[in-house]
Structure formats: C-alpha cells, structure tokens
Structure 1
C-alpha cells in the first residue's frame, strides 16, 4: 500500500441514457490524470467513475426502445460506457452502477439513518419538473417556450416543456443546513473551486434553501424508500450516495475510513447538487463532508454546449481513431484552462497535434535517440563537464517538476502541462544551439557531445515521468526506447515528485530505435 495520504477522487456518475460524447471524456481523462499523478507520487489513491441508472428519464428511454430499464442500462453500459474507458486509456480503480446490490442496500441504510435522525418528513408537493434534468425547477430556471413549444414553460437548459407534478412525497430538511453550509464554505475557502463557482454557490445558499423532495411515487424504477415501499428515492439522492457506497459506507468501516472523504470533479451544471445538497445530506447523517468539489467549465462546439439532443455531441472515438488517445488527453487537458469553458475545433486540435506533439515533443524524442544510436552505438554516454547551458537545463527540469506538482494540487492540469512543456521547449532550443551533429565531426569534442546527448536523454527521462499521467501510451514507448525500463523498472513505478532530480538515467543504458510517437495525420478534407 502506498505510504502517502489518501487521495480519493471521483468523476460524476454519468447518465447512460445516451452514448458518451467528448464532454464526458473530458471530465473522465481529467480525473484520471489527477489520479495517475497522485498514485505515481505515492499517495494512497482511488479513482471512481460509474453510471447513474435510475429515474424517470431512463424508464422512458427504455420503453421507447422496447426493453426493460435494466436491459436497457445493461446494454448501454457494456456497449458504450465500458469501452469509453478503454478508448481513452483510463485507469479507474472502480466503476459503480447504481443498480448494483452493493449500492442499493447502502443507499437504504443512509436514507434510513437521516430519517431516524429526524431530517425527513412527509408532505404534499406541486411543482414544474424537467425529466431531462430529473429536477424540480425554480423560477429562475424556467423560460417561455418558442417555436413548437410557444405558450409553454420550458427548461432553461433543455428547452423542453416542463411537467406539473403533484405528489405526496418525503422531504429532506435542506433548509436547516443553510448556516452550517455557509460556515463550511468560510472554514474551508477552497471547498468549492474555482472561485467563480464558489461565489455562485455562496450566493445561492445565502438566498435561502428550500426543503428537498427526496422521493417519487408515480413510477417504480428506483431504490425503494425503506420505511415506505410505495415510494422510490429521488434519483439525485440515490446518485450522490455512490461516492460513499462505493468505498464501503455501511458495509466496510475500515475501507470507508481509509478512503473517505473524496474530491469530486463535476461539470458546473451539476455543481449545486454536489456543493449544497450532498454536504447537507452528509451533515444530516453525521458523516464527514467531502474534501472539495471542483467544477470545470463546458466544452463548446460551434459556440454551443456539448449536447446529443442538439447534435453537437462528438464521440471520443471520432478523435482517437485519427489522433490517438494520448493526443485526445493532451489536447483537452492543456488547451482549456481547467475550470473555465473551452471551445473545441478540429482545426485547433490538428494544429496543436502538429506543433506541440509531433514537432515539439515527438521530434525531440526521435532525434535524441537517433543521435545516441548514430554517435554512441545506442549507449547513453556519460556527461563530461557541465557548462552553464547544461546547468540551465537541469534547473528548468527541477523547476518544472516542482511547479507541475503545485499546479496539480490546485487541480490546474493545464498549468501543470504548461510547466512541463518548458522542458520540451528548452531542450529543443538547447539541441539547436549546441549542434551535436557538428560536435560529432570533431574528435576533440567527444566529451562535449556526450554531455549534450546525456543532457537531452536525461531531460527526456524526466519528461517521460512527468507526462505519463497525461499521455500514458507515448511516454511508455519513450521510456522503453531510452533503455530506462531495463535500468530503472516500470515507468508507472517512478516516484513522480522526484522526477526533477538530475542524473537518474544511467550512462551505459541501451537506447532503442523509436518510431515517431505522434505520426503525421492525413486528414480527409
């Protein structure tokens, strides 16, 4: 077991009523990169993802496709959601499905606990409900319909008519937690990140909280309320609990104590559920609140939020089939400031692939290994005397490693990649200035040539380690090509926070030929 502190991180659990698009992939690879970083840094890391399979929307989608809800979700998860993780090289530790018995049993236990503590009561309810969001809407989230829906009230997010629901429901006393939540946000200023998300939530809670309807009695696709089987638990309450049920809440106290609390990474459209309702539920149950909630922005295509219903959804495989999973991961994690909205375009992806990956990192790796093969028969040469230019590279590598780790602590993966990329740019400039091909023509410069190529190879060793959480496939190829696998062991076992220490790659290591890490992409017009 790793010696570092617990780092438990989750993606939202995705609603599998449709196929995954690049927005889902974006969240998943971001969480995977953070988990890989912490795991490789020696922290006791656990990454959870999964699917949210109950609710009215799922029941209707199943009926429309002529199957039972369970058959429908089984098909979607096996054919679309599991393959997504493989497509994007995600190394999650667990995948939870809300239809699994391990989840259902523990959800009942949790809801019973807050009922027993006096935080749930029965009441009558009438409100406008959006099936797409699985959520009752407040006035600010309701707009007048247009076109075919003129004269109707529609959801501001889905632009589809809302349904007026009248039910006898069970309610959670959310309103009682206003002061405790505001105190939490003050006590832990980075509980919600980025700051714009924090400000939005604080202002929302200050305006007053209404009690939350937490059961439905008009359909039965869900987990039954333990003390009243004519009701099922509201899908959002069921879904949020996955983060606790997956790590042993109610069944394995030791595992739960080891893992909990978690960091949650979510899209900003579901921030309030995670930063308001979820901590209030935990407070009601006497369970520790999460360590933090990070809300990332939306991925925009043609200026619109990614959405299957509006045909802006792009399947991740459309990108990985052309550019590969590493380029997908690198592009979305570096091109968008994590926490802000970002625009996707094929032109931007192709340009960055060519400039940063093929010509920048890939070319650096290819020419360094090729020169070691050509001038030193494939054996990493020892460095002779270090000059100021060499020492500058060593400093850049050390600084990049420290800066990247600090950026990851802030959940700013984009800033971590920027820090690491200073090594790529510096080494490319260093090789151009030192001209090893010219040094190779003069026997008197043999020691200097060895120093230059050792410096380039050792810089690549650091890059392979630092970039492995972002680009696991290319860095593994580079690691093998540098002879580091034989000399130092597996790439994923290299202590990440020591990557900037100079002199780890041993002279005498055997370098292998390296095919282009990022081959030229032929795009059809």
Structure 2
C-alpha cells in the first residue's frame, strides 16, 4: 500500500504564518514516518493561485496577477526548502498540467450530468470565496464565516449537483467512522449534510483569473470557481486525465487541513470524487487554529507569528517539536514564548540533551568512549521491559495524528534513562569495583536514546541524525526494524563526543511586538499631568476607574458549535464566533442550566481578552457573562441580534 500525504495548497494573498507551518510540519512528519517504515510515500504541497481575491490583491500591489502569484508562491516554496520539508512535489494551480486536469474533470462531470448551466443570485463573500443563502447571513448582510460584508451577485453560472450526493455522503460517513480526524469533528460535518445540501456554483463570469472552461463547451466568459479548481490539485498532481503514471498513489492516505476548510474537504471533495468515479481519501485530518499569548493574530495588532522569525531565533527543529507537542491535534493552540522556552529547557535540554551528554561523559571516564551492550539484559531487564512496553504501543497515536500524545509517551522512555542513571549511580559502581555494572547502565541509556531517537526522527530529523551519528548507527528502515521491531541492542561502538544539542534559553528571543506597540502609542505625560492623574489616597473601596473598566474587552458572540465535555457534570465546550473570522473556544460550567442543543446559533456576551486557561485539560479562551440568584443562572444576551464581534460598553 502506498501512502500519499498532502497539505492544503496555500492561498497566495500573503506570506506564510505559523498556522501554515503547523500544517506543513505535521504532514512532513507523517511522510517521514511512512518512509522510515519502508512504505512507498508521496508528499504534496503547493499554492492556490486563482480567484477574485488574488486578482484584487495583485491590483492593490500594482503588479500583473501572474507576477504577484509567482512572487508569493516563491515565498512559500523557499520557506519550506529552508525548513527542509521533504515534499516530493510542489504544485501550483497556475501550472498548465493542473489546468488541463481540471478541464478534463469538469468535462467528465458535465457529460455525466452532474454539472449543469443555470443562473445564480445570492450573497457572495469575496474573502471566503463562498456563496451563502440569505438564511445563513448575520443581520441579512454579513458573512457567517468571517463577518465581512457580502455582495449580492446575480450571474449566469454552472452548478455542481451537490444535492444529489447528500445520502451517498451520509452512507459513506456511516461506513467509515475514522474518515474525519479527530473523530470529535465528525458530527459537525454529518449535521451540516443532514441540514440539506444545495447545488454548488462552480464557475464565475465577474472575473477572469481562473482556469478557463473546456474548449468543447465553447463558453469562454466563464472561469472555474476556486474550490473546484483547488481541490482537484490532489489528483492533477498525480497526472489525472493526462499521464496517469502516478495515479496508483491514489487514494490519499491523509489530507491534513485547518478546521476552517474541513467542510470543503469532507463534503465537496468526496462528492466531486464520487462524480468522477474515483476512490475517496482514507482520512481528512483537521487541526485547530493558533493564537499568540491568548490573542487572535492579526496584522493590525502586530502580533502575527512568522515561522522564519521564530526559526531564526530558536531553531527550526525546536519549533517543530513545540508545535506538535504543545497542542492536542484538533484543538486550538496558543503560541507563547514562555511556554516555548519551557519546552526547550525542560523537555529538550534537560530530558534529552543532558541524557546524551551524561553518557558521553561517563563513557569517556570509564571506557575510553567504548560502549558495549553485552551486559545490558543481565543488569537491566526491568528497564528494558518497561521501555518496550512504551515503544510497542506509542505508534498507535500517529494513526489518529495525536502528535502530543505520541511525544508525551515517547518522553517516558527518556525518563527511564535518566532514572536509571540516578538509581544505579555508575560513578559509585566504579568506585566499588563493579565497572561492568556501571558500563551496562551507560549502554542501557545509549540504547534508550537510540530506540527513542528512531521514533523521534520524523519530528526532529537533523537532531536525531546527530544523536545517531554520536551513537554509531544510522536512522533508516533497517534500524527501525532492528532496534524497534526485532528489539535488538546496539552493536559495540565508540561514542563520538558532541556539544550540547539544546542550549538553555533564559529570556524571550523575539520582541513582544504588541506590548511594544502599545507602549509606543501611549501619550507622554508631563510630571505635572501625572501628579494630577494620581488617585486620591482615600478612595472608596471596590470602585474602579473608567480606564480599568475599559481594560476589559466585551463582545457579542454567536455560538456555532456546542458539545458536552466527557466525564464532566457541569462543563460545555463552545465554539463562539467573535466576527472577522475569529472562532473562540470557551469552556463554560453551565450544563445544569443549558443543553448544548439549545445554545446552538444563539448569541452571548463574551469577555474576549481573558487570559486562556485549561479546564479538564481543554483550553478555554474567554468567559460568558451570566447572572445567578436563588432561582438559578441565566446568560446575559443582547436584546436584539447583533453582528458577531460587536463591542459591548
């Protein structure tokens, strides 16, 4: 069986941010892991370059559209090359081969009767490149996904018969419960489909920057709509409709996407494939969004995290480890330099790097750097058994892309090594004349490092290659089978001294832009003015100033998802739309008073700048306003519906 992994193709209306890097790191890890096991592997990434938004962005930049697309696409490709992402192909939707494959697919669906010509009148969001029925709009005007104003569009269009695939999709979800990962996202897709699917507009006439129609249809005023064009990249990259030499790689093992485009990949894409009589991908894995220090990232706030800046400061592999370790896959994550530094100093420097340095030092003192595993089983059978118990079960977490659980379990192996050194104290054994026991402990730790490093390799390839070279072996399929599957120990080798792998970090290495900007924007006060502004010494207890009140950001939010928290009697997990595309996860202890179902699509008042906290291990980034008395609790709500994100105060 071949394993074909893909990232989404990234939209070229701006440079890569930390969310793009997260998707790419995960997909690169999966591809490297597949290759490590000796499986046929193909890894696709690339850029999405068509649509009205690109045309408008190029116009604003004063550049021809193709030149604009070329420049932004190159930024992505160059960054992935700098990060040594192991992709096999970088596709662009402006590639001629891709366009021909899309035209072939369009004609095939048209001939089948799944695409027909009609007229569309509806509300169109340029930012999301999506039409919405009036019933889904906020206040009859605003996009339900990003909160921006929609435009009423009436034009001739070709439609894909999405409605004809409603039951087929539901049957497929029922038959393949692990199609959508994490499985917690499965219900939102099923409920959307059960709500009724409308036929999908797949061409536009109001702009020209898109894939032209097939010549056989003789309809040049239309160009193909971005989602049909973009999703087909996964098969056009393999030569679909042309030279199909790589089509044996289909279906994809996994499409890794952000949760904001899950609907397109889990509903539209399978329907297109059914129409084309192609197999469906095995898994769609949707991850969450990233904030910075609890705040949504935006250019206006100056708090966007750019992966190259972080990599230059802290190292690319440290960034890879942090992002895949810090957050449960599927949940939103927060990028905090303090949390990042803690991971570097604790997990990487103390647990891993220091373990390697300790056995280098001891082997140099006790055996002239020679390490021999001959007595490991004799003196350390218990530690070996404990280690294999972990190693035999840890890989299952990668089947569901639970990278944080995988790394959490793998780190227990390094703990076994550190604990063995303290428990067996080789320095004491040498003094007692038990040198063979001391050297057996050193060899045990060398094997701990070797075996765990093989599995860590897809996450941190350069670091683990350095460790392997130090321990006298190479990380490849042969060592994967030998050290992990066959449970062999390292052959006798001479350890190579190496410097610290992870130097400690004491202070943040990247300026905290938002705070710096806020300080710069504060008006300078004279000493006289400052004195006047001081609060009276005998101020009434409990009173606050206007400034203190306005430090709290209160917003209207719309609850778009709600579910019970397993094993909790009081908690509900809510996804709250705060406008401008911001979806905030909030955990609220209101299950005694409200069910998840009755909260859906209702509005609430949210404290939006509360520091994120974890409740039962789930990140909560906000608080709902509520009133409570002897009769119970009720949520504070707007008297009339308001646009998501509207300020309160």
TM-score normalized with structure 1 length: 0.92
The alpha-carbon deviation at position 220 of structure 1 amounts to 0.6
Deviation at 1:87, TM superposition (A): 3.8
TM-score by length of 2: 0.75
C-alpha displacement at 1:494, in angstroms?
Answer: 4.0
The match for 2:175 is 187
2:350 corresponds to which residue? 359
8 Å Cα contact 1:401-1:499 kept in structure 2: no
Q: 1:148 — aligned with what? A: none
Would you say the 8 A contact 1:369–1:482 is kept in 2? no
Give the structure with higher Rg (CA).
Answer: 2
Aligned counterpart, 1:520: 504
Aligned partner of 2:164 in structure 1 is 176
1:115 equivalent in alignment to 2:110: yes
Q: Deviations over 1:211-233 (max 9, x none)?
A: 00000011110101112221100
- Corresponding residue number in structure 2 for 1:131: 126
Aligned equivalents of 1:140, 1:20: Cα separation in 2: 34
Structure 1 pair 242/295, CA: closer, same or farther in 2 (3 Å)?
same
The answer to whether the 8 A contact 2:376-2:443 is kept is: no
2:153 corresponds to 1:165: yes
CA-CA distance at 1:139 after TM superposition: 4.8
* Structure 1 SS opposite 2:372: coil
When residues 492 and 130 of structure 1 are mapped into structure 2, their CA distance, relative to the original with a 3 A threshold, is farther
The CA distance in 2 between the partners of 1:62 and 1:429, in whole Å, is 59
3-state secondary structure, aligned to 1:236: helix
The answer to whether residue 32 in structure 2 is matched with residue 36 in structure 1 is yes
1:466-503 alpha-carbon deviations (Å, 9 max, x no partner):
1110011111111111122xxxxx32444535543433
Q: Is the 8 A contact 2:178 2:283 kept in 1?
A: yes
Alignment pair present for 1:344 and 2:335: yes
Aligned to 1:423: 413
Report if aligned partners of 1:404, 1:419 keep a CA contact under 8 Å in 2. yes
Shift, 1:386, TM fit: 3.5
Query: What is the aligned partner in structure 1 of residue 66 from structure 2?
Result: 70
Residues 192 and 293 in structure 1, CA contact (< 8 A), matched pair in contact too: yes
Give 1:434 deviation, angstroms. 1.1
C-alpha separation in 1, matches of 2:192 and 2:52: 27
Superposed displacement of residue 283, structure 1? 0.5
> 1:102 Cα deviation (Å)?
1.3
Q: Which residue is equivalent to 1:8?
A: 4
What residue in structure 2 maps to residue 467 of structure 1? 456
CA distance in 1 between counterparts of 2:376 and 2:130 reads 67
* Uncovered stretches (5+) of structure 1, i.e. residues with no partner: 145-151, 485-489
Asked if the contact 1:383–1:452 (Cα under 8 Å) also holds between the matched residues in 2, the reply is: no
Runs of at least 5 residues in structure 2 that lack an aligned partner in the other structure: 512-649
1:383: how far off?
Answer: 3.1
Q: Is the 8 A contact 1:127 1:137 kept in 2?
A: yes
Mapped partners of 1:82, 1:177: distance in 2:
36
SS in structure 1 at match of 2:142: strand
Change (3 A) 1:282 1:397: same
CA 1:159 to 1:499, structure 2 compared with 1: closer, same or farther past 3 Å?
farther
Is 1:81 the counterpart of 2:81? The answer is no
Does 2:287 align with 1:287?
no
Matched, 1:502 2:487: yes
**Within 2, Cα distance between the matches of 1:394 and 1:138?**
61
8 Å Cα contact 1:458/1:503 also seen in 2: no
Q: Does 1:257 align with 2:248?
A: yes
Deviations 1:280-316 (A, max 9, x none): 0111111111112111111122434445566442100
More moved, 312-321 vs 56-65: 312-321
Is 1:483 matched with 2:460? no
Instruction: String of CA shifts for 1:76-112, please: whole Å, max 9, x gaps.
Output: 122x201221343311111111000111110100111
The DSSP-based 3-state class of the residue aligned with 1:294 is strand
Deviates more, 1:306-315 or 1:212-221: 306-315
Instruction: Report the structure, 1 or 2, having the larger helix content.
Output: 1
**2:142 aligned with 1:154, yes or no?**
yes
Question: What is residue 321 of structure 1 aligned with on the other side?
Answer: 312
Q: Does 2:290 correspond to 1:299?
A: yes
* C-alpha distance in structure 2 between counterparts of 1:191 and 1:347, whole Å: 36
3-state DSSP class of the match of 1:153?
Answer: coil
- What secondary structure does 2:156 align onto? strand
Name the Cα RMSD after superposition: 1.8
- Given that residues 125 and 169 in structure 1 are in contact (C-alpha distance below 8 angstroms), is that contact kept between their aligned partners in structure 2? yes
SS in 2 for 1:225: coil
Contact 1:62–1:72 under 8 Å retained in 2: yes
Change (3 A) 1:140 1:475: farther
Cα distance in 2 for partners of 1:352, 1:132 equals 36
The CA deviation string for residues 372-416 of structure 1, in whole angstroms up to 9 with x for no partner, is 12211111134326356x223212332232222211112212221
**CA separation in 2, counterparts of 1:347 and 1:141?**
41
Q: Distance in 1 between matches of 2:377 and 2:135?
A: 65
* Matches of 2:15 and 2:236, distance apart in 1: 25
Distance 1:222-1:454 versus aligned 2 partners, 3 A rule: same
Q: Give the Cα–Cα distance (whole angstroms) in 2 for the partners of residues 491 and 358 of structure 1.
A: 21
Out of 77, 84, 99, the position equivalent to 1:104 is 99
Q: Distance in 1 between matches of 2:295 and 2:137?
A: 19
In 2, distance between residues paired with 1:237 and 1:309? Answer: 32
Corresponding residue number in structure 2 for 1:94: 89
State yes or no: 1:403 paired with 2:393.
Answer: yes
**1:293 and 1:472 mapped to 2: Cα distance?**
25
CA distance in 1, matches of 2:72, 2:222: 26
8 Å contact kept, 2:426–2:438: yes
Q: Which residue number in structure 1 is paired with residue 495 of structure 2?
A: 511
Q: Which has the higher contact order (CA 8 A, sep 6+)?
A: 1
